[in-house]
Structures are given as structure tokens and as C-alpha cells.
Amino acid sequence: MRVFNFAAGPAALPLEVLERARDELVDWNHGGMSVMEISHRSKAFMDVAARAEADLRELLGVPSHYKVLFLQGGASAQFSFVPMNLTAQGANVDYIDTGHWSKKAIREAQRYCRVHIAGDSGAAYTSVPAQAELSFSKDAEYVHYTPNETIGGVEFPYVPRTGGAPLVADMSSNILSQQIDVTKFGLIYAGAQKNIGPAGLVVVIVREDLIGHARPGTPTVFDYRAVAAEGSMLNTPPTFAWYMAGLVFQWLKARGGLAAIAQANRLKAELLYAAIDGSGSFRNAVAQDARSRMNVTFGSTRPELDAEFLREAEGAGLKNLKGHKAAGGMLASIYNSMPIEGVAALVEFMREFERKHG
């Protein structure tokens, strides 16, 4: 029996995708083998890879002067490979600090660059700085930000204008959740395990002119130019994850693309935030205009009830609602594959819990 899985990542995948992968698992493409068991250089797999890239480009509207790379190492590896690929020793870079993942990216970048904090959201991390509050360095090689802070449930309602420096975005937890204008970004990266597919894959979308300047010492398999030149097949890629990502892209297209999924995501988030705001028993601390559409944080107004809430929710088939250990409380991740029925079930459960314990 399937449950409603609110995990932050690895996260729920669309049931239709899982069922198709199951059906194709041992005999893929009538070849008598699993897609996991064939060469990444075979024509059959190259077709899978090419279609996945084409579908991703179509979904996001990626212009032809951007490369799309399928890499390994997770989003965290990009915390280092972005500065290693985009800057030389001693470079100045700007970072916006809005929470847990921004901080991690900053700490890693400090190993390679002089990092200037161009804006932050204060110690509580319950908002994002407004455009007018951002102050960029004159000579920053790039500006990095985290459009959606997964753990804090804080999302930028706008794309920062940097006044020139390329904008780098860690879109791990909100990529493909709505339409974006890729030309506003120099580089986008995203770990797969939320809105793309299984863990083990990270997607990098990078403007062509930004590659080719990797520092000496950058591992070849993470040098964007070398990877791009080989179609992300410099070495054996995570083929099964890539195939699964391709199925997710096909699923998104069949659902009407990003305009349709954005609308569904808006409705889900509105339903959940309205239930939190309208209850006397739960609260969300994030500023209205910075509330994440993907990761909804909430806690009981009597925090001693959080553990009981989580226990009863598990029993009701509402799984993995526990907030990150750094944040506490509850975290409902409602990525693309969470159906509105899952959110409705959670809202109903919250009402029932309030009646019982309120």
C-alpha cells in the first residue's frame, strides 16, 4: 500500500513513473535486459539520455547557448565545483545567506574564494532579503543564492538582479516546480532527489561562456567544459537515475508542463498554509511573501505535542513529517509528485488532531 510521503529528500516520486520503471525493470525496451545492465554508450541508452536532456530543455525553456550536464556527487559537490569552475584563485564572489543550505554553500566557497555576503535574512531565517537590501561587490565573479531553503521552508518570490555578475542558483528543492526564465541565470544546479528523480544525479545548466575556465587541479570529471564536450559521458554516468529522471520529465510533459504543475503546486501550498493559519494549534513562522511552495514548516503552538502529532500522523499513513534535526517541528515537503489528495489528507488530519488535543 502506498502512503503519502512528505519526506524532504530523497522524496516521493510519481506513482506512474515508479510503475512504469517496475514494468520495464527486467526487460527494458524488449532487449531482455534491464536499462541498468546496458552500456551507457549503447545506442539504446544514448537515446534515453538525449531524450531526457531534450525534454528537460523543453520543460525549462533552456536556450541553446546553455549546456545541460548530468553529473554525480550531489548538490553539495557543486558547492565546490561552482567556484572551482567559475573562478581563479583569490576571486571575489557574492553569496546571499537565507539558511541551512546557503550557509553550507558559503562555507565551501570560502575554501576557494573571498566570499562577501550580499544579503541575509537575519538569524531566524524566516524571510528573504528584498532586492533593495542586497548589496553586491563591484568585482564579484558571480552571485550565489538558494531560491528555496528546503529545511527552513523559505523561498524567494523573485529572482535577484545582480547588476551584471552571473547569478548562480541552487535549485535543488524547487527546480521544475514553476516556469523560470533561464536567461536570468548564469548557472543553475539541482540535486535530483526531490523534483527530478533518484539520488545520485545532479543537473547543472550553465551558460556556455562561463565554462572553460576551471582552476588547475579541478578533477577532470567535474570540469564543466570536459563534461560538456563528452555529453556528460566522460565516465560512466548514473544510468538508472538518468533514465528515471527522463521518465519524470515525460510525466511532467504529459501533465501539461510547468505552467500546469505550478498551478497545482500553488493550490497545494495555499491549502496547507490556510489550514495552519486558520488553526489555533499550529503555526508557521515564515514571512508571508517568503513561504515556500515546496517545503512547509509548522509546529504545534504547544511544542510538547509535536511528538504526538508525528506519531499519530505516521499511524494515519502520513509519513516523514518530522522537521530537520536542525529546525525541529514539522516539515511537509509537497514537491511536484505530491497529489492534492495528500495535502487534503494532511489538512484533515490536522483538524482532527486539533479537535482531539486542542
Instruction: Name the residues that contact ligand PLP, by CB under 6 A.
Output: 9, 74-76, 101, 146, 150, 170, 172-173, 191
Count of beta carbons in the 10 Å neighbourhood of residue 128: 29
Q: Which is nearer to ligand PLP, 38 or 176 (by Cβ)?
A: 176
Q: By Cβ distance, which residue is nearest to ligand PLP?
A: 74
The CA-based angle 224-228-229, given to 5 degrees, is 120
In angstroms and rounded to an integer, the radius of gyration of the C-alpha atoms of the chain is 21
Query: Which one, 156 or 224, has the nearer CB to ligand PLP?
Result: 156
Q: How far is the CB of 146 from ligand PLP (least distance, A)?
A: 5
Per the rule left: phi > 0, alpha: psi between -120 and 50, beta: everything else, 130 is: beta
Closer to ligand PLP by CB, 95 or 101: give it: 101
Q: Provide the residue type at 267 as one letter.
A: L
Give yes or no: 322 in active site. Answer: no
- Choose between 186 and 191: whose C-beta lies nearer to ligand PLP: 191
Which of residues 123 and 326 has its CB atom nearest to ligand PLP in the complex? Answer: 326
79 vs 251, beta carbon nearer ligand PLP = 79
Name which of 43, 50, 23 is nearest 34 in CA terms.
23
Q: What sign results for the dihedral spanned by CA atoms 156, 324, 251, 191?
A: positive
* Sequence-ordered list of residues with C-beta below 8 angstroms from that of 278, at least 6 positions apart, any chain: none
CB of 189 to ligand PLP, least distance (A): 9
- Looking at residue 217, its amino acid is G
| Cβ at position 67, least distance to ligand PLP in Å | 20
Question: How far is 175 from 186, CA to CA, in rounded Å?
Answer: 15
Catalytic-role residue among 170, 251, 268, 322: 170
Residue-wise DSSP of 121-190: -TTTT-S---GGG----TT-S-EEE-SEETTTTEE-SSPPP-SSSPEEEE-TTTTTSS---GGG-SEEEE
Least spacing, CB of residue 324 vs ligand PLP, in Å = 10
Cβ-contact 329, 286 below 8 angstroms: no
- What are the CA-CA distances from residue 261 to residues 59, 87, 126, 233, 344 (Å)? 11, 36, 25, 31, 17
**101 in active site:** yes
In the residue annotation, 55 being an active-site residue is answered as no
What is the phi-psi region of residue 235: left when phi exceeds 0, alpha when psi lies from -120 to 50, beta otherwise?
Answer: beta
Q: How far is the CB of 326 from ligand PLP (least distance, A)?
A: 12
Cα separation, 137 vs 141, in Å, equals 9
Nearer to ligand PLP, 87 or 146 (CB): 146
Q: Please report which helix (H) or strand (E) contains residue 307, including its range.
A: helix 306-315
- Catalytic residue selected from 55, 67, 94, 101: 101
With beta carbons less than 8 A apart as the criterion, state whether 354 and 196 touch: no
Query: Rounded to the nearest whole angstrom, what is the least distance from the CB of residue 87 to ligand PLP in the complex?
Result: 20
In the complex, what is the shortest distance from the CB of residue 173 to ligand PLP, in angstroms, rounded to a whole number? 4
Provide the annotated active-site residues: 101, 170, 194
